[in-house]
């Protein structure tokens, strides 16, 4: 998705925020909402990555970590970043049993990637490389800023809409207030979804090119999707506006959360990746193999 479309979508979310402000408080409400949206964009530009990492209690790691699996995760991620022509990102682990990963940061020079302990315990080394190549593709495409700012505004639109019934015009038909409360978060979700789905396909493609193993990423997506449905990510559930940051929807364990999925169908993503594997001349039915088992996640303590 080109930059013009990105800016258009972000402008649409800001306008939506202002529109809800107008319906809640008239012209004054709209101006206040637009000022708040502008301030949020500026704040999110400099701080959204820190907020996201703090929310998920991510811990930075380096190649000197005592766990060989973490050492390999860090070393491979740094090697992939160099291969992609990117500055070395900060690398984090989130102590969470649900396998997942995301990237954040306002630009490649200030990027960070994070994987959950569940992902490191479930996937083979090749599959982990595939996932991190996907996340670095988001960094390379400069998706991370847009995705984190969008999460901030989407959450704010939902919060503002909830004020409509309580602080809106007392003379307005209550039904209108109810519609605002219901439709504004839905509209924000639709815009958020439009940004995220296109970016996931593109990050899969670029990530396959960076890592050179599209079938490994395809296998990783299949495993993550299956396990994510079995393990609830409570940190993500508490702030669903951040769901689109992850490689697989972390809310997949709750049926209602799929009403406006921020991610494309995993089966379609896998099919696209296997087609890329065929173009790369790799075996279509390749099963990534590595030194680690792909069995159930081992029980682990805090990641220090």
List the catalytic residues. 135
Helix (H) or strand (E) holding 190: helix 174-211
| Tokens found for residue 117 | 């302990």
Question: Where do we find the tokens 């990963």?
Answer: 101
Residues with Cβ within 8 Å of residue 28, at least 6 apart in sequence: none
| Tokens found for residue 122 | 């479930």
CA gyration radius, the chain:
20
CB 278 within 8 A of CB 292: no
- Vertex 128, ends 230 and 2: CA angle to 5°? 95
| Tokens found for residue 90 | 């900060």
**Helix, strand, or coil here: 298?**
coil
Say how far apart CA 60 and CA 62 lie, in whole Å: 7
Nearest one of 120, 193, 116, 159 to 20, comparing CA atoms: 159
CB 49 within 8 A of CB 109: no
């Amino acid at each position: 998705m080109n930059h013009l479309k990105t800016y258009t979508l972000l402008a649409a979310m800001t306008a939506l925020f202002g529109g809800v402000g107008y319906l809640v408080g008239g012209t004054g409400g709209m101006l206040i909402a637009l000022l708040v949206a502008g301030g949020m964009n500026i704040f999110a530009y400099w701080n959204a990555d820190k907020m996201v990492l703090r929310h998920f209690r991510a811990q930075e790691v380096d190649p000197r970590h005592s766990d060989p699996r973490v050492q390999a995760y860090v070393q491979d991620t740094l090697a992939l970043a160099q291969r992609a022509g990117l500055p070395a990102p900060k690398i984090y682990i989130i102590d969470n049993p649900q396998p997942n990963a995301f990237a954040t940061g306002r630009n490649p020079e200030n990027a960070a990637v994070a994987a959950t302990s569940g992902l490191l315990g479930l996937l083979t080394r090749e599959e982990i490389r595939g996932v991190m190549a996907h996340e670095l593709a988001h960094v390379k495409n400069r998706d991370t800023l847009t995705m984190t700012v969008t999460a901030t505004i989407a959450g704010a639109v939902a919060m503002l809409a909830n004020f409509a019934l309580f602080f809106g015009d007392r003379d307005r038909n209550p039904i209108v207030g109810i519609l605002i409360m219901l439709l504004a978060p839905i509209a924000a979700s639709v815009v958020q979804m439009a940004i995220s789905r296109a970016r996931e396909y593109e990050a899969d493609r670029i990530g396959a090119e960076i890592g050179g193993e599209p079938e490994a990423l395809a296998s990783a997506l299949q495993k993550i999707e299956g396990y994510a449905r079995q393990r609830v990510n409570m940190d993500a559930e508490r702030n669903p506006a951040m769901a689109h940051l992850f490689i697989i929807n972390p809310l997949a364990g709750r049926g209602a959360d799929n009403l406006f999925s921020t991610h494309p169908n995993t089966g379609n993503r896998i099919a696209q990746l296997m087609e890329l594997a065929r173009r790369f001349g790799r075996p279509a039915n390749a099963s990534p193999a590595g030194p680690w088992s792909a069995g159930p996640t081992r029980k682990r303590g805090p990641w220090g």
